[in-house]
Structure 1
Amino acid sequence: MAECRRKFYPNCNGNVWLRSCEVEVTDSLEGQITGEFPSWLQGTLLRNGPGSLNVGSMRFKHLFDSAALLHRFHIHDGHVTYQCRFLQSNTFKKNRAANRIVVTEFGTAAVPDPCHTIFDRIAALFNPGESISDNAMISLYPFGDEIYAFTEGPVIHRIDPVTLETMERKNLTESVALVNHTSHPHVMANGDVYNVGMSVVRGRLLHNVVKFPFTEKGDMFAEAHIVASVKPRWSMNPAYMHTFGMTENYFVLLEQPLSVSLVGLVRSQLTNQPISSSLHWYPEQETHVVLLGRESGKEEKRYRTETLFFLHIINCFEEDGNVVVDVCAYKDAKVIDAMYIHAIESMQSNADYAEWFRGRPKRLEMSLVAPPLTRVEPKLLADLGCETPRIHYDLYNGRPYRYFYAISSDVDAENPGSIVKVDTVTGETKSWWDKDCYPSEPVFVPSPQAKEEDEGVVLSALVSSADERAVWLVLLDARELRERARALFRTPSPAPKCLHGWFLPREPGPC
């Protein structure tokens, strides 16, 4: 009996991922301030992530299925306020109206609908923007002065950055025929936005890089166009991609051996199975790094490396005749399984769970004069787990850089709820943690007229395993990773842990 009660990871509490918000915060809560938020820090941190696992008496089976919840931390003259609202996606509205899960998700099958015939399901295959879930619960990105919530489906949602209201729904299959895209587009200094997705062009499936050119008066989506394309390594099993990279001259795609079976995807649509049933991991296959020329729009270089799985690229850049790709790498795709609700609930009795999350930051350094399909051996940047990495994005995205910030992915660490900073030049690491607290993705904000790469602050939303209705915004000095200030909020219902977000340095409307 003693063995049954043993906890493999006594310092880690996965329940922070299992909370469901019951009451939205539409009127701003005023934060209880400890320390001092610098006077130069004015703006809004927007966050996105899983908000509710429950629909009536039903429950989602995977973290990626949870209803999207938007968060807003507004910083103004040393004061901080907080709001949260559910994204009003079609999926959310349908589920709430039916009081049950009626739209199939990544890991959860919907209740059977007797009104949908096999012919309806076949027709839906040709309209993925309307037939699959539009629950955009991963990230938030700006397109000009507009903010959109993302997932990997073709639909994105415009939100009001002041009220968090859902304002507009964009189906990208209608503008650039994308049947999916990554959750992490790249936003250029001039306002252009790039993303990678899959399209069917003249009967062929292609990985396409799409450019959404910035325009002050026009429609960035109407002007969207494909700027680079490559055939998938496996035509019927394209590689799964959550992020991609950009350098001065190249788009960087990692074709990993976690693939999407097109046959399986069709089967899942016809038989109402979760999308995850079409994913397959091929452990005998290597990972390929593909460089697409930004000018040519075509594949120019391809390299091989060890079998690895990734969700997030940290940064890519060119230096001394090489292309460098830094990535949060796993040995396999078990981290996807680790985010099933049952896996989270049973983690304390699963001796393998920590290994499922055992990611490490690795560097791939590839010579531009190397022969085709040269094998590249990854180099370890630091021996610690890291996820949701962020850099000094405005100045160093796609350029040589030194520092990145992330949250710990080592559930068996002494302090699993840590924010980490890695020096990619020296390998030195710093970490910050607070007892029973779990931070979200750390967002770097540079100081005005900063002269050093890490001159600024790091912002992160914290939740507590000891108090499910406490939310903090913590501010750390980016150089030493020491706490300078925090704001505490008491929410009217449980506060779930969020994923990704964006900092708006200028407030688009009144506080």
Structure 2
Amino acid sequence: MATSEEHCVWLRNCKKETAKEVQGVVKGTIPEWLEGRLTRNGPGMLEVGDTQYRHLFDSLAMLHQFNISAGRVTYRSRFLDSDTFRKNTEANRIVVTEFGTAAYPDPCQTLYGRFKSMFTSPEKKISDNCLVSVCQVTDEMYALTETSLVRRVDPKTLETLGKVNLHDYIALNLATAHPHVEPDGRTYNIGSSFTSYKGPCYNIVEMPMGKIEGAKVVASLKPLRRTSPSYFHSFAITENYFVLVEQPLVFRFGKVLSGVFTNKPPVNSLTWLPNEKVVFRVVKRSTGELLPTHYTSNAFVTFHHTNAYEEGGNLVMDLSGTEDGEIVKMLFIANLQKDTTDKTRILYGSSMRRYVIPLNNVHTAATGENLIKMKDTTCTAIKQENGSVHCTTQILHPDFFDMPRINYKRNGKKYRYAYGVGTKGNDLQFERLLKLDVKTCKMSVFTEDKFTLAEPVFVQDPNAKEEDDGVLLTTLLSKLDPLYVALLVLDAKDMKEKARVEFKTKGKVTSAFHGQYVGAHEKIHAF
């Protein structure tokens, strides 16, 4: 019978990093123009001593890096040396509460000490285990998660350098790990603030050249559910607008606060409201002004936006989404451990979907009128009696599609190709790499038996003439050999393999969530 780690690579528990670079064996040919570093972030250590994390979002962070130069590639991995990592490993058990895992009580602590720790200030209890992504705009790289804490990392050695609390510079208590970077280095992110005198609000933040010290709020929105702000993992940006999907997956504010003092993990306060609607909050970038129209849709959940752009007086938005509000429960370790034949296993049904939001003639439209006049979409936007506009979706392809990436030079602009990962059957790991033509809705696939793949990162050929002139970089893990990792280089046009660089590591190689490629000759690094 297969072990749990063979059954699902997400369950790997790494105890030994590969801190010293190892040289890879190249099969095929790496393009001469491909020079730079691919850095990825994700779960690394699922168990500390005899204690185990309950959710995949909790695992101690591990950074992976592939350094590409002159047709050769090296690999290294390092644990993020966070305060959380040190506290847990020194205690040899989980002592810091994470998203889905409460800290285990100290058996040596007195009853009074345990009671007193319940009333430690919330800020001191926030974990700095930043395991979602990385961002380097100029010379500084940060490991990101969804709290206000980020960790600075040496982009060449992956050494952890310091900790920054965004809340010290800007009104944010939570922030996404998916900022947007403009060609001139301006960086935008969005997050929630719970400590403002105005009450809870969503703040959109601008950072010049990605520098946290220069951050400023450019727009502020009040949650529609004042005591239950929405959970969001990413947001959309176009040339003239920001778009926040306020979805009915919410944090019950009262449960969040009580959980801080009673050692309950934040996931306990996350609530799915299937009978409530999604509201698209559209903000003008030039003024920070919120458009007054409520654009709604039936309930769905999204983690990852693909792209958005303006066309013919409309805002077109593509994202990976699902109507299943229990999606977060899918990543509980207990669920990942279930056999594929187990009917109680919660599956991830995300697919690529499109919404079209009309920007013109909304107020003069008649009740019941479809404001979408575009001929190449089945999306509708129906004017309601109360003045709101209800939008329906177009599923661009029925297959599972998530971790979407694009040629980032098309970010916020009309585009044609999206790249992502897929699954086989009812598996919970990524075994297919996908290219979706959003114009024709045709899908191209790369897959290989007994291997899993990671989020694809598009790198444009410097002599590109077309949008998909370039390569896709992804990580290949063997289901059977936990010490094997490969950097896979695919031709983005036909999804054919150009090169594979294989490595043997010191410790088990874990799957990662998100990453960034930093070109050796770039001045501004985006995604």
**1:384 aligned to 372, 378, 399, which one?**
399
Structure 1 spans left out of the alignment, 5+ residues: none
What is the CA distance between 1:335 and its match in structure 2? 2.1
**Alpha-carbon distance between aligned partners in 2 of 1:481 and 1:378, rounded to the nearest angstrom:** 28
1:454 aligned counterpart, secondary structure: coil
- What is aligned with 1:439? 453
**1:65 aligned to 38, 53, 58, which one?**
58
Aligned amino acid, residue 377 of structure 1: T
1:336 aligned counterpart, secondary structure: helix
- What is aligned with 1:330? 322
2:196 is equivalent to residue 201 of structure 1? yes
- What is aligned with 1:465? 479
- What is aligned with 1:241? 232
Aligned amino acid, residue 376 of structure 1: C
2:432 is equivalent to residue 407 of structure 1? no
What is the CA distance between 1:333 and its match in structure 2? 2.4
Aligned amino acid, residue 125 of structure 2: S
**Alpha-carbon distance between aligned partners in 2 of 1:507 and 1:23, rounded to the nearest angstrom:** 33
**Alpha-carbon distance between aligned partners in 2 of 1:453 and 1:160, rounded to the nearest angstrom:** 32
Q: Deviations over 1:292-323 (max 9, x none)?
A: 11122121143101210110011111111000
8 A contact 1:415–1:433 mirrored in 2: no
8 A contact 1:329–1:362 mirrored in 2: yes
8 A contact 1:109–1:273 mirrored in 2: yes
- Does 332-341 or 369-378 show the bigger shift? 369-378
2:173 aligned counterpart, secondary structure: strand
- What is aligned with 2:296? 304
2:356 aligned counterpart, secondary structure: strand
Structure 2 spans left out of the alignment, 5+ residues: 364-386, 523-527
What is the CA distance between 1:414 and its match in structure 2? 13
2:435 is equivalent to residue 421 of structure 1? yes
Aligned amino acid, residue 382 of structure 1: H
**Alpha-carbon distance between aligned partners in 2 of 1:448 and 1:402, rounded to the nearest angstrom:** 19
**1:43 aligned to 36, 46, 54, which one?**
36
1:207 aligned counterpart, secondary structure: strand
**2:331 aligned to 339, 358, 361, which one?**
339
How many pairs align?
490
**Alpha-carbon distance between aligned partners in 1 of 2:134 and 2:316, rounded to the nearest angstrom:** 26
Equivalence map 1:153-302=2 (5 Å)? 153-199=147-193, 200-214=195-209, 220-300=211-291, 301-302=293-294
What is the CA distance between 1:120 and its match in structure 2? 5.0
2:521 is equivalent to residue 503 of structure 1? no
- What is aligned with 1:93? 86
**Alpha-carbon distance between aligned partners in 1 of 2:226 and 2:118, rounded to the nearest angstrom:** 24
- Does 329-338 or 159-168 show the bigger shift? 329-338
8 A contact 1:176–1:226 mirrored in 2: yes
Aligned amino acid, residue 419 of structure 2: Y
- What is aligned with 1:140? 134
What is the CA distance between 1:163 and its match in structure 2? 0.7
What is the CA distance between 1:143 and its match in structure 2? 3.7
**Alpha-carbon distance between aligned partners in 2 of 1:306 and 1:149, rounded to the nearest angstrom:** 34
- What is aligned with 1:150? 144
Aligned amino acid, residue 459 of structure 1: L
CA pair 14-304 structure 1, distance change in 2 beyond 3 A: farther
Aligned amino acid, residue 214 of structure 1: M
2:31 is equivalent to residue 16 of structure 1? no
What is the CA distance between 1:184 and its match in structure 2? 0.6
**1:82 aligned to 72, 75, 87, which one?**
75
**Alpha-carbon distance between aligned partners in 1 of 2:299 and 2:254, rounded to the nearest angstrom:** 24
Q: Deviations over 1:318-375 (max 9, x none)?
A: 1110001101011122221111111000142432546x31111000011102354200
What is the CA distance between 1:118 and its match in structure 2? 5.2
**1:314 aligned to 280, 289, 306, which one?**
306
- Does 261-270 or 109-118 show the bigger shift? 109-118
2:55 is equivalent to residue 55 of structure 1? no
**Alpha-carbon distance between aligned partners in 1 of 2:199 and 2:437, rounded to the nearest angstrom:** 43
Q: Deviations over 1:422-463 (max 9, x none)?
A: 000001110001111111100000001211000000000111
8 A contact 1:387–1:409 mirrored in 2: no
What is the CA distance between 1:183 and its match in structure 2? 1.3
**Alpha-carbon distance between aligned partners in 2 of 1:352 and 1:318, rounded to the nearest angstrom:** 42
- Does 222-231 or 141-150 show the bigger shift? 141-150
CA pair 268-72 structure 1, distance change in 2 beyond 3 A: same
What is the CA distance between 1:468 and its match in structure 2? 1.1
8 A contact 2:204–2:219 mirrored in 1: yes
**Alpha-carbon distance between aligned partners in 1 of 2:326 and 2:94, rounded to the nearest angstrom:** 26
What is the CA distance between 1:464 and its match in structure 2? 1.0
Please provide the CA RMSD for this pair: 2.0
Q: Deviations over 1:217-237 (max 9, x none)?
A: xxx222111001110010000
**Alpha-carbon distance between aligned partners in 2 of 1:90 and 1:14, rounded to the nearest angstrom:** 32
CA pair 60-81 structure 1, distance change in 2 beyond 3 A: same
**Alpha-carbon distance between aligned partners in 1 of 2:429 and 2:280, rounded to the nearest angstrom:** 34
**Alpha-carbon distance between aligned partners in 1 of 2:249 and 2:357, rounded to the nearest angstrom:** 22
8 A contact 2:8–2:428 mirrored in 1: no
- Does 405-414 or 431-440 show the bigger shift? 405-414
What is the CA distance between 1:116 and its match in structure 2? 4.8
Q: What is the aligned-residue identity percentage? A: 37
Equivalence map 1:97-112=2 (5 Å)? 97-112=90-105
**Alpha-carbon distance between aligned partners in 1 of 2:315 and 2:427, rounded to the nearest angstrom:** 33
Q: Deviations over 1:100-121 (max 9, x none)?
A: 1000111111112546565654
8 A contact 2:340–2:426 mirrored in 1: no
8 A contact 2:324–2:349 mirrored in 1: no
2:23 is equivalent to residue 30 of structure 1? yes
**Alpha-carbon distance between aligned partners in 1 of 2:88 and 2:330, rounded to the nearest angstrom:** 25
Aligned amino acid, residue 489 of structure 1: F
Aligned amino acid, residue 213 of structure 1: P
**Alpha-carbon distance between aligned partners in 2 of 1:302 and 1:397, rounded to the nearest angstrom:** 25
Aligned amino acid, residue 290 of structure 1: R
8 A contact 1:359–1:409 mirrored in 2: no
TM-score under structure 2 length normalisation: 0.90
**Alpha-carbon distance between aligned partners in 2 of 1:415 and 1:440, rounded to the nearest angstrom:** 9
- What is aligned with 1:368? 359
**Alpha-carbon distance between aligned partners in 2 of 1:189 and 1:122, rounded to the nearest angstrom:** 45
